[in-house]
Amino acid sequence: MAELNIATGLVRYNINGKVEVEFNPSDQEFVERLYNTFEKLDKQQDAYKEEITAAQGSKKVFEVARARSDEMKAMIDELFQQPVCEPLFGTMNVYALADGLPVWCNLLLAIMDIVDENMTEQEKKTNPRVQKYMAKYKKYHK
C-alpha cells in the first residue's frame, strides 16, 4: 500500500529536560485551550491570594495552597492532555515564584510565546506557497 505523509505541524517540546509535550502551535483548538486555561488560572490566582490572606496565621494556609495548586495542576495537565505537572514540578506548589512570577505562569507564557512566533512564521510562509501552486496549476487549466 502506498503511504501519504503530510505535514501536521505537530512539534515535540522538551520542557526543562523533564517532560515532553507535542502540539501544533498554530492549531486553533490548542490555542483556544491555552488562552482559556490561562484565563482560568489567572482568576484562580486572585482567589488564591484572597484565601491565603484570610487564612493568614493558621495552618489553613497550607491546606489552601495545596488544594489550589492541585486544581491548577489538573487544569495544566488537561491543556496538554497528558500529565505534565508531576514530572515538571514534582511536589512543588505551582504558586511558587521564579523570575518574579508563579511557575504556572512561566510555563504558560513560554507556550504563548511559541504560539505567537509560530503564527507569525506560518503566515509568512502561507502566501508564497499558495501562489506557487496556483501558478503551477493555472497553466494546466488554460
Per residue in 29-86, pLDDT (tens digit) is 999 999 999 999 999 999 999 999 999 999 999 999 999 999 999 999 999 999 999 9
Share of the chain above pLDDT 70, in %: 93
Structurally, the chain folds into a number of domains equal to 1
Look at residue 4 and tell me if it is in a domain. Answer: no
Look at residue 53 and tell me if it is in a domain. Answer: yes
Look at residue 57 and tell me if it is in a domain. Answer: yes
- Report which secondary-structure segment, H or E, holds 101: strand 101-102
13 vs 133, higher pLDDT: 13
Residue-range definition of the domain harbouring residue 91: 11-122
CB atoms within 10 A of CB 33: 17
Look at residue 67 and tell me if it is in a domain. Answer: yes
Look at residue 128 and tell me if it is in a domain. Answer: no
Look at residue 137 and tell me if it is in a domain. Answer: no
Residue 120 confidence class, pLDDT cut points 50, 70, 90: confident
Q: Which of 112, 121, 101, 89 is nearest to 36 (CA)?
A: 112
pTM, full prediction:
0.85
